[in-house]
A and B are shown apart, each in its own frame.
Chain A
Amino acid sequence: MVDLKVSNKEAYYQQTLENTPSKTPFAEFWRKFKKQKLAFVSFFFVVFLILMAFIGPFITPYDITEPDYENVLSGPSAKHWAGTDAYGRDIFSRVLAGTQISLYVGLTSVLLGAIGGTFLGIVAGYYGKRIDSLIMRMCDVLLAFPGILLAIGIIAILGPGLGNVIIAVAIFSVPMFARIVRSSTLAVKSTLYIEATKSIGTRPKRIIWKHIFPGTVSSIIVYFTMRIGSAILTAASLSFLGLGAQPPSPEWGAMLSGGRDYLNIAPHVTIFPGIAIFVTVLAFNLLGDGLRDALDPKIKE
């Protein structure tokens, strides 16, 4: 406690000495965020994953599609770090190349869902009345198909494939974003400064983009990050069920599904893609938790 007080005082003096203005929201966020060690580490891991998504396919030690029938289902070794699969393909190379697919599917689907959901949520929250109940009832209907079921229903309509998985996961994210953004829109809308802006005759469009939207951004960012983890899991599950990426794609869920038949004799074919999914989703979830704690003004240290 004593240490804390001293360092606070020091920071205070430092600030007055340099005559800087009071902390910016970003500095405040960064200070809180840095304290959460797990989230901080996850942030760098996510950056690393994004880097791997770009360069991974170019630095694989082996060709990811070339079969090697001399070397089928061999366990991890110095030559093949994660062993080889039923076609003798290097699993480490395939997991590395698959990073791109999982991140691409996770990010684009959640981004599409967030754009759609944010738009609907702001419109519902700002205009209220009929349009609000219409949008919210539509969300209720989509949410009546729990979890992965809505995505499976959409795939049943559109047909299997990775592109359709992105659409399915995006639609499945829309209602949750709409609800969250609607409730923060309602909170911002009732503040005094919005009333003030309205009273000087600002047009609704301008109020929404200049005042309401920025007020909802922090909740969007937190939910966005958390949602990426579950989107990656959903997409991998769909591929595992044969509804998403098809072999020979190095998508992690599809790889796992392919390794299933050899679980007895070659468990490594299943183990490594599973670890890749787990670690990736864990990083996004921990990052999301950290962002939530750093951005939520209600949470005090």
Chain B
Amino acid sequence: MDIDGKYYRSFKDRIKQLEDQHSKEKVDKQHAKGKLTARERIDLLLDKDSFEEIDAFVVPETQGIEFGKVEKHYGDGVITGHGKINGRMVFIYAQDFTIMGGSLGIVHANKIVKTQEMALKMGAPIIALIDSGGARIQEGIASLSGYASIFYNIIRSSGIIPQIAVIMGPAAGGAVYSPALMDFVFMTSFTSYMFLTGPNVVKEVLNEDVSFEDLGGAEVHAKKSGVAHFIYDDEENTILGLKKFFSYIPSNNVENPPKIEGTNYTPDINPKLLDIVPDDSNKAYDVKEVINNVVDKGSFFEISELFAQSLITGFGRLEGRTIGIIANQPKVLAGVLDINSSVKGARFIRFCDCFNIPILTFEDVPGFLPGIDQEHSGIIKHGAKLLYAYSESNVPKITVILRKSYGGAYIVMNSKNLGGDYNFAWPTAEIAVMGPEGAVAILYRKELAESDDPKKLKAKLVKKYREKIANPFVADEKGFIDEVIDPAETRKKLITAFEVLSNKWVEAPSRKHGNIPL
């Protein structure tokens, strides 16, 4: 081809025009807000030179615009394509706030839909980098139809390929359902927001003053609503976090999670585990210490760290292989199960089940949180979600009872009869229908009332109850747990057990889908 010829020249001109579109002025404006541009974000996320863009030169719909104005430009405010993260293929779309505020018109939406369809066909994960002012008002109903198609595709891909949303700017109105439907949501503090109705509408309708940050900032969603699973202080760390997260998950629902070679392993026999759980069952401890001393060194990666902190969820690795970890956190509210922690746990279990990630449960739970507020808000149905998720999942499931395991919470936390494959207990475990104090108060109500020294009698009975009932040996002898193990050997036991379970399959009854209590 003649490189000075007309065709080649206009080909080159177009590329130059596309580059010019990202003028220094626009880039500086984005930077001044503490934000990176869409292209910079992609560069940070993907392996060097691995990004292949699709539909870079589409132009926005300008026909039939009767209200406002749409200027002609390339790409329509979104960059789509595929590339590699640590050598593995992902699809990506990144909204470009510098072009018409990243607003979503029909062409913009079609580009996203095309990417979604490709990701599904190829069985590769998809990442959405969201930074958009919302629907393009000029295009009217067409942009709404665009949103609907995107949502429809997310739902079709759900449970087949991992779908991750990274919020790096505004996400307002109906647009928030796109991240909400995906598997995980990352947010950057102070420069990203998510809400259905913004502060202005809140002010108009309810006459309440609220700032963007307080209504839908990253911190609010990480701590209060639980919408955001991960928050970071800046965009570079958000992307580093996302890359790290990616090393735990498989590309689709047929593959296994990736294996990591040559990490520093924790010793298989670890005496540190003997010192963490206090003998006094009224004393708190940090269950993350248990987790960190069991999984590969430094491999624990917590999910929804700031939300419903009485239940810990996260990924870890055993000999380089990903496991999903659920643990009651005695340090927070004694590790009680409440509405938020039940929902958090259930959602996490279902992700692991979709993507072939084995589940490890560390149990030390005093029960469900009592109270009018919890009951009236439906802890019954929300607690049932956790129960449902555990029973429904057919990935390998192992429970280690560290200490308390009482009542309904014992059943819920992956008990043997819910389908737990291996249920281990530490010698410190207390497995019973209820805690010693409560049981004694009910069973010996009369004796206690009549006693001269009820305090002393109660102490005696509690001691007896602990010896006779609230220990792991009764359950062990009856077969409700598989083995009482030496805490120091926990890791070794788990590695063997997960190895045995690596080919586990449980045939589910044929049905359209179950009816989880939503």
State yes or no: do A and B come from one complex: no
Binding site for B on A (CB under 8 A): none
